[in-house]
Chains A and B, each alone.
Chain A
Amino acid sequence: MTTVPPPAPPRRRPRVPLAPYLFILPYLLIFATFWAWPIVSSFLMSFKDSRLGAAAGYGLSNWQRLLTDEFFRTALKNTVIILVIQVPLMLSLATTLAVALNSRLLRARGLFRFAFFAPLVVGTVAYSAVFRLLFNGEFGIVNRALTGVGLPEVDWLNQPVPAMAVIILAMTWRWTGYNAIILLAGLQGIPEDVYEAAAIDGATPWQQFWKMTLPLLRPTLLFCLVLSVIGTLQLFTEPALITNSGPGNATMTLGTYLYQQGFRSFNFGYASAIAYAVAALAAIFSFAQLRLFGRDS
């Protein structure tokens, strides 16, 4: 392996056959065992009836069940509701924040950055616990604040719509700064003279934002959108810990339902079918977003 190559022109890539394979091998073994194979295995498993006493062999029973299972439909509906409300809410807020944090008029930039970016180091379990406590219906500080300003209390965690709202608020708190960082990097890639030129042409800051910033930011926004959608489709910790999927199944998501089927009922076949349904949804959403918003990329 360490043979000195014969005097070759220095600009050519070296011809060392063994080294790159050895460099890749450790990762590749892990990748094949714990990532590539499970992807295949899970697909096969989704065609297997894994309930106790079921006949061995392959069939479509899991997929048929998926189409008629009302719990799956509830989980799907809840997940899509969260997706459709939370992702646009978060990305508009993140875009606004990125523009604000990028403004040359802003003072104490470091403090603001810390306030908005700090949530991204907080673990999902930790912030779920905090939000559950803050939104406690009887004693939570949010209700104390509401009554303090003369508003009625809300039984946040025991009513379907407020419970959903808490999850959306919690996710927005945690992920807005993360997306703002990515968008800020995108903004900083826009050359300053583009704005100077627009200002000279008499464009107002509002026009500059809609006509220039937003179109130039589109690839970055698209990236954030795709990532956020895939993340939200896999939402698990927040509904599991903040609302326990409740009240009833009002905040049950595809993630918590999959966990329940896979690791409470140990119905691996059906859980695999749910997992592939999530993957299919992720693929459809990503494709649609690329077609709708990714014209030039």
Chain B
Amino acid sequence: MTTLESTPPVTRPSRGKAARDRTSAIWLHVALIPLALLFLAPLWMMLVFATHPETAIFSPNPPLWFGGAFKENFDGLQADTNFIRALGNSTVISVAYTLLSMLLTSLAGFAFAKYNFPGRNILFGLILATLTIPTFVTIIPQFILVARDLKMSNTFQAVILPTLANTIGIFYMRQAFQTVPDDLLAAARIDGASEPRIFWQIALPVVRPALAALAILLFLASWNDYLWPLIVLTQKDSYTMPVALGTLVGLTRVSWGGIMVGTAIATVPFLALFLALQRHFVAGIAGGAVKD
């Protein structure tokens, strides 16, 4: 674009540029700091309200700093809905879903990326074609199948099985396995390694970073899923955490401090995880989106 071929690659900023940069930087921060505070406010208020009794939350001067009613609120929540049980259900479901989905999508993604076999393009095209279909379209037949035909209502597998058909994971893992050098697999094959072994011991370790990013997204999606569990879980004992909280939100006589405790418990571990693994989160989201 430029014709100034002789310009040295590193240009020392002139005095005028430095001054202009300083003004721009000030404006940037003046605009961004209030916006950042606004974005943090709902999370902050959730944490603060989780530690205050109802009377304080709804008082004319609501608190902005932590109080001492966390335990009281938690007990209220546990009385309104068996929250500990719901947390346990959510944990089992999310862990099982994440592991199973990682296994299924990496197996299939590996096959699509690294083998040439009759029917590959047709199968992959079929999966591709359904990618943009809204989940609404499948939810009613899924319900009939799971709840009526298979009689699996209120079980873990009812929540897990249909969600395992996630198409994004296939694309994600296929893309990841495409980065594995063919020579590496061929060398293992010459050494006499079986195909499952090549997958498990050669290819999978190479894509470990992608797998980690996928695991985070899968776990989070399962942990926060609401509509499907709401449909197949009808008994209180089988509720996941979002379903348990969701049933409380609409009620009139309910402890809002308790609900905030519930949302805080559901959220804080992931905020901490996000702080620790921001790179993986960002890589997962951006990696699923931006292709080549």
How far, in Å, is B50 (CB) from chain A's closest CB? 10
* Interface pair B242/A125, CB less than 8 Å apart: yes
* Interface pair B249/A134, CB less than 8 Å apart: no
Chain A contact-residue range equals: 35 or more
Interface segment, A58-66, A67-75, A102-110?
A102-110
* Interface pair A114/B278, CB less than 8 Å apart: yes
How far, in Å, is B90 (CB) from chain A's closest CB? 10
CA distance A118 to B39 in the complex (A): 9
How far, in Å, is A104 (CB) from chain B's closest CB? 9
Q: B120 near A: Cβ within 8 Å? A: yes
* Interface pair A118/B249, CB less than 8 Å apart: no
* Interface pair A39/B137, CB less than 8 Å apart: yes
For residue B243, which residue of chain A has the nearest CB? A125
Given A123-B223, A259-B227, decide whether A182 and B195 contact each other with a Cβ distance below 8 A: no
Give the one of A17, A23, A36, A274 with max B CB within 10 A. A23
* Interface pair B192/A105, CB less than 8 Å apart: no
Q: Mark B268-283, 1 if CB is under 8 A from A, else 0.
A: 0011011100100110
Q: Mark B178-201, 1 if CB is under 8 A from A, else 0.
A: 000011011101101011100100
Q: Mark A175-192, 1 if CB is under 8 A from B, else 0.
A: 011100110111001000
Q: A76 near B: Cβ within 8 Å? A: no
Interface segment, B66-74, B102-110, B207-215?
B102-110
Q: A77 near B: Cβ within 8 Å? A: no
Count of B residues near A, CB < 8 Å? 107
* Interface pair A118/B43, CB less than 8 Å apart: yes
* Interface pair B195/A19, CB less than 8 Å apart: yes
* Interface pair A268/B144, CB less than 8 Å apart: yes
How far, in Å, is B209 (CB) from chain A's closest CB? 15
* Interface pair A130/B115, CB less than 8 Å apart: no
B216-250 CB contacts (< 8 Å) to partner A: 220, 223-224, 226-227, 231, 242-243, 245-246, 249-250
* Interface pair A114/B1, CB less than 8 Å apart: no
* Interface pair B145/A38, CB less than 8 Å apart: yes
* Interface pair B165/A34, CB less than 8 Å apart: yes
Given A34-B164, A122-B267, A198-B1, decide whether A45 and B141 contact each other with a Cβ distance below 8 A: yes
Q: Mark A115-150, 1 if CB is under 8 A from B, else 0.
A: 111111111111111111110101101001000000
The dominant DSSP class at the A interface is: helix
* Interface pair B182/A11, CB less than 8 Å apart: yes
Q: B62 near A: Cβ within 8 Å? A: yes
How far, in Å, is A98 (CB) from chain B's closest CB? 11
How far, in Å, is B35 (CB) from chain A's closest CB? 8
Q: B171 near A: Cβ within 8 Å? A: no
Q: Mark B8-49, 1 if CB is under 8 A from A, else 0.
A: 000100000000010011001101100111011011011001
| Cβ–Cβ < 8 Å partners of B4 in chain A | 200
CA distance A107 to B36 in the complex (A): 13
CA distance A80 to B115 in the complex (A): 44
Report how many A-B pairs have Cβ atoms within 8 Å.
305
Given A14-B189, A27-B105, A132-B249, decide whether A262 and B132 contact each other with a Cβ distance below 8 A: no
CA distance A241 to B36 in the complex (A): 26
For residue B146, which residue of chain A has the nearest CB? A34
CB < 8 Å neighbour of A182 from B11, B271, B286: B286
Q: A112 near B: Cβ within 8 Å? A: yes
* Interface pair A115/B40, CB less than 8 Å apart: yes
CB < 8 Å neighbour of B117 from A20, A128, A286: A20
* Interface pair A118/B139, CB less than 8 Å apart: no
* Interface pair B108/A28, CB less than 8 Å apart: yes
CA distance A136 to B194 in the complex (A): 62
| Cβ–Cβ < 8 Å partners of B105 in chain A | 27
Q: A5 near B: Cβ within 8 Å? A: yes
Q: A84 near B: Cβ within 8 Å? A: no
Given A13-B116, A141-B45, decide whether A205 and B290 contact each other with a Cβ distance below 8 A: no
How far, in Å, is A296 (CB) from chain B's closest CB? 14
* Interface pair A30/B164, CB less than 8 Å apart: yes
* Interface pair B126/A124, CB less than 8 Å apart: no
| Cβ–Cβ < 8 Å partners of A34 in chain B | 138, 142, 145, 161-162, 164-165
| Cβ–Cβ < 8 Å partners of B242 in chain A | 123-126
How far, in Å, is A89 (CB) from chain B's closest CB? 14
| Residue contacts A-B, CB under 8 angstroms, 21 given | A2-B195, A16-B195, A20-B111, A21-B117, A23-B111, A23-B195, A24-B123, A27-B107, A27-B108, A33-B145, A38-B142, A38-B145, A42-B141, A45-B140, A106-B28, A126-B245, A127-B263, A129-B249, A185-B289, A258-B136, A278-B134
The 7 nearest A-B residue pairs measured at CB = A123-B224, A185-B286, A38-B141, A19-B195, A115-B36, A20-B115, A139-B58
Given contacts A31-B127, A130-B45, 13 further A-B contacts (CB under 8 A): A2-B194, A27-B164, A100-B31, A112-B32, A122-B263, A122-B270, A130-B260, A131-B42, A144-B62, A173-B42, A220-B290, A241-B249, A279-B136
Residues of A participating in the B interface, judged by any CB pair closer than 8 Å: 1-2, 4-5, 10-11, 13-14, 16-17, 19-21, 23-24, 26-28, 30-31, 33-39, 41-43, 45, 97, 100, 103, 105-107, 110-134, 136, 138-139, 141, 144, 173, 176-178, 181-182, 184-186, 189, 194, 196-198, 200-201, 205, 220, 223-224, 226-227, 230, 233-234, 236-237, 240-241, 244, 254-255, 258-259, 262-263, 268, 271-272, 274-276, 278-279, 282-283, 286
